[in-house]
Amino acid sequence: MSPKYPYCRSTVTALFALCSAFAASAGAAEAEAVKVGLVAALSGNSALSGEAITRGLSIAIDEINARGGVLGGRKLVLVRRDDESNPAKGQLAARELIEKENVAVVFGGIDTPVSAALVNVMQELKRPYMGVWAAGTGITHNGKTPNYMFRVSAVDERVDMAMMQYARKNYGSKKPGAILVNNPWGESNQKGLEKAAAELTLPLSGVEKYGANDVDITPQLTRLKAAGADSLILVGNAAPAAQVMKSLERMGWTVPVVSHWGISGGRFNELAGPRYKDVQFMQTYSFFGKQNAVGVKVMAELKKRFPEIKSADDILAPVGVANSYDAMMLTALAIEAAGSTDGDKLREGFYKVPDYAGLIKTYRKPFKAGDNDALEATDYIWVQFDGKNAMPVVPVVR
């Protein structure tokens, strides 16, 4: 090197180091983790639902990461926030996950009021939402264009039709009565039940509402009894629905009860008194009965991670596990189809998800323009509590 340029060697070295740093930085950026968020009840009476959802998501995420992640090697990471079953807290949590954590998608929990409150948030921030429990029809059927709300879960309108059909077929009901929690979820189901009643020519004897904190629902139930209700359609989460059953016990009214699945997200069997066994309710999945290959795999992973789980008897809130597992798998496929975690591109990616053999079923084009719900009424099953377990009313064979 000519002494005329004494700094040339050190400059070249510095430039080489700088280029190496840029290359390393680019490589790190390519491998940057993809965060996914969860806004759910992680405390309170519905905490069991949040734990079940967390388990399903975590098992799916670890499986996806073990086979290389998404987008050429980027790992998935779950970031959780507790909404405490409060819509305002749910909105704040979703904003924090998107604006501070930069999550690609927000998964939602058990409460319809919380999920309904997120519709405008997701629309404003242009990030997809994936519901794995809350069934309010208006969550996904919200009139928004474009629609950022997706779901792998039950849909009230479809559940309401199924509950009315079940009451008529299994109990010979001719005048079912509705006893509904007095919140947006109850309102969603009232609309669905009234629509189902008209389509089935199966008139409702009456519709009564009860508060989430009410401890005596005897007056409402007495009015339904006087109106000639020969079955009850129950909608409520575990704790408030348990008060309905206690009130029935005090009345000595042994009317058949067909319920939405909210009772499976908490300690209904402990809170409801001796009548807890009398309720038959819908689910999207059961780990009892013969399992498909995915079911066998997920069951084995649950036993491995949680020593207290020895069999299907020990899996609490199984729909939370099942729905969230399939939803995470479908979301990973949507990310790959989009080739990006950009909110709008990912939203379009959900419509390009290929066929997927999942835990609940084999999904064939699960999301379509105008229908962002992956599960149909034909995917529902019926169960009742036996102790802490939700046992199929009819043995499930998958």
313 or 202, higher pLDDT? 202
Instruction: For the chain, give every domain's residue range.
Output: 34-154+289-376, 157-283
Question: What's the pLDDT tens digit per position in 202-245?
Answer: 999 999 999 999 999 999 999 999 999 999 999 999 999 999 99
pLDDT of residue 387: 84
- Per-residue HEC secondary structure of 138-190 comes to HHHCCCCCCCCEEECCCCHHHHHHHHHHHHHHHHCCCCEEEEEECCHHHHHHH
pLDDT of residue 2: 43
Which pLDDT band, with edges at 50, 70 and 90, does 26 fall under?
very low
CATH 3.40.50.2300 given to domain 157-283: yes
Cβ distance 137 to 188 under 8 Å? yes
pLDDT of residue 395: 45
Mean model confidence pLDDT for the chain: 91
Mean pLDDT of 259-279: 89
Which pLDDT band, with edges at 50, 70 and 90, does 6 fall under?
very low
Question: What's the pLDDT tens digit per position in 327-365?
Answer: 999 999 999 999 999 999 999 999 999 999 999 999 999
pLDDT of residue 392: 86
**Percent of the chain beyond pLDDT 90?**
82
Cβ distance 93 to 40 under 8 Å? no
pLDDT of residue 396: 46
Question: What's the pLDDT tens digit per position in 110-165?
Answer: 999 999 999 999 999 999 999 999 999 999 999 999 999 999 999 999 999 999 99
304 or 9, higher pLDDT? 304
Query: Is pLDDT of 21 > 50?
Result: no
How many Å apart are CA 211 and CA 201, to the nearest integer?
29
How many Å apart are CA 314 and CA 306, to the nearest integer?
10
Cβ distance 152 to 130 under 8 Å? yes
Cβ distance 83 to 39 under 8 Å? yes
21 or 313, higher pLDDT? 313
pLDDT of residue 394: 63
Q: DSSP alpha helices (H): ranges in 210-340?
A: 218-226, 238-251, 268-271, 293-305, 318-338
Query: Is pLDDT of 30 > 70?
Result: no
Query: Is pLDDT of 3 > 50?
Result: no
* 34-154+289-376 and 157-283: identical CATH topology: yes
Give me 167's structure tokens: 């009451």
Q: Residue 326: which of 379, 369, 263, 383 has the closest Cα?
A: 379
CATH superfamily of 34-154+289-376: Response regulator (3.40.50.2300)
Give me 301's structure tokens: 């992973």
Which pLDDT band, with edges at 50, 70 and 90, does 398 fall under?
very low
Query: Is pLDDT of 4 > 50?
Result: no
Q: Residue 233: which of 164, 182, 168 has the closest Cα?
A: 164
Give me 371's structure tokens: 């229908």
Q: Compute the half-sphere exposure of residue 315: CA atoms within 13 Å on the CB side of its CA.
A: 26
159, 283, 321, 357 from 135: Cα distances, Å = 9, 11, 16, 23
In one-letter notation, the amino acid at residue 281 is: F
How many Å apart are CA 100 and CA 90, to the nearest integer?
15
How many Å apart are CA 131 and CA 314, to the nearest integer?
24
